[in-house]
Amino acid sequence: AIRMTQSPSSLSASTGDRVTITCRASQGISSYLAWYQQKPGKAPKLLIYAASTLQSGVPSRFSGSGSGTDFTLTISCLQSEDFATYYCQQYYSYPRTFGQGTKLEIK
């Protein structure tokens, strides 16, 4: 199975900050990577797929980049509603695997 490793595991930031979360795959996955946002008690929400394609309705302050084994999710100007846990997931091969999550907290 492909292992997905996110860093950091947690992150404190302030509204208006620019933050970057990284995701590394244990082997190449081309661009078959998705990013999800999850708020407490809610289902995950797809933000980005194909490593850099913004899902419809997702604010443009979210962006993704990378291919192969190294990927990043960037939030350009944090808003209060962005404080949540973020997961990456590869869909290059089965079994599908998620990163362990990055909890973004208010500083």
Partner 1 sequence: QLQLQESGPGLVKPSETLSLTCTVSGGSISSSSYYWGWIRQPPGKGLEWIGSIYYSGSTYYNPSLKSRVTISVDTSKNQFSLKLSSVTAADTAVYYCAGGRVLDYWGQGTLVTVSS
**Chain residues in the site for partner 1 (CB under 8 A):** 1, 34, 36, 38, 42-46, 49, 55, 87, 89, 91, 94-101
Of 81, 87, 79, 90, whose CA–CA distance to 103 is shortest? 87
Residue 54 CB, nearest distance to partner 1 (Å)? 12
Helices (H), the chain: none
Calpha distance 12→4 (Å, rounded): 22
Residue 46 CB, nearest distance to partner 1 (Å)? 5
Question: At 68, which amino acid appears?
Answer: G
Residue 43 CB, nearest distance to partner 1 (Å)? 4
Nearer of residues 83 and 98 to partner 1, judged by Cβ: 98
Nearer of residues 16 and 41 to partner 1, judged by Cβ: 41
Question: At 21, which amino acid appears?
Answer: I
Find tokens 């708020």 and name the residue: 39
Nearer of residues 1 and 106 to partner 1, judged by Cβ: 1
